[in-house]
């Protein structure tokens, strides 16, 4: 049920609280989200520290956040499908597989972006 007083700053605080609950739930119930979050905690400081142009830093950071965002959406889709029922249905499997493919593509994009941006630094170090 929609709360009566859900306007202005109060709405923003409530929405932030719900968002934090979602992140906490994903952390507790989703191993992939935990793994990607830990990796993000290692990658983000490195992205800030590494000496590349600011736009490249931004791409490094954005692709890491994109992986986390897509993983959260994948987890939400899986939760909704699981809520509908335990019995197997081809469309349920299709929905889960497509959401998983989105996570895979976001991981590929992140990896390719990091490799392209950091390759000159890696070559120089070798």
Active-site residue flag, 71: yes
Rg of the chain (C-alpha set): 18
To the nearest 10°, report the CA torsion of 88, 90, 95, 96: 50
Residues in the chain, total: 126
For 8-50, the DSSP string reads: HHHHHHHHHHHHHHHHHHHHHH-HHHHHHHHHHHHHHHHHHHS
The active-site residue, picked from 30, 71, 78, 87, is 71
Angle among Cα 98, 31, 114 to the nearest 5 degrees reads 70
The structure tokens listed for 53 are 């142009």
Question: Which residues have a catalytic role annotated?
Answer: 71
């Amino acid at each position: 049920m929609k709360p009566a007083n859900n306007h202005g700053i109060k709405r923003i605080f409530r929405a932030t609280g719900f968002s934090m609950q979602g992140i906490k739930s994903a952390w507790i119930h989703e191993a992939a989200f935990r793994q990607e979050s830990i990796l993000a905690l290692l990658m983000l400081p490195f992205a800030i520290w590494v000496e590349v142009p600011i736009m490249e830093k931004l791409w490094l950071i954005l692709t890491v956040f994109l992986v986390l965002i897509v993983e959260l959406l994948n987890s939400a889709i899986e939760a909704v499908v699981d809520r509908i029922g335990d019995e197997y249905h081809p469309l349920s499997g299709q929905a889960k597989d497509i959401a998983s493919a989105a996570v895979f593509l976001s991981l590929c994009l992140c990896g390719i972006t990091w490799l392209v941006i950091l390759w000159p630094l890696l070559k120089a170090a070798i």
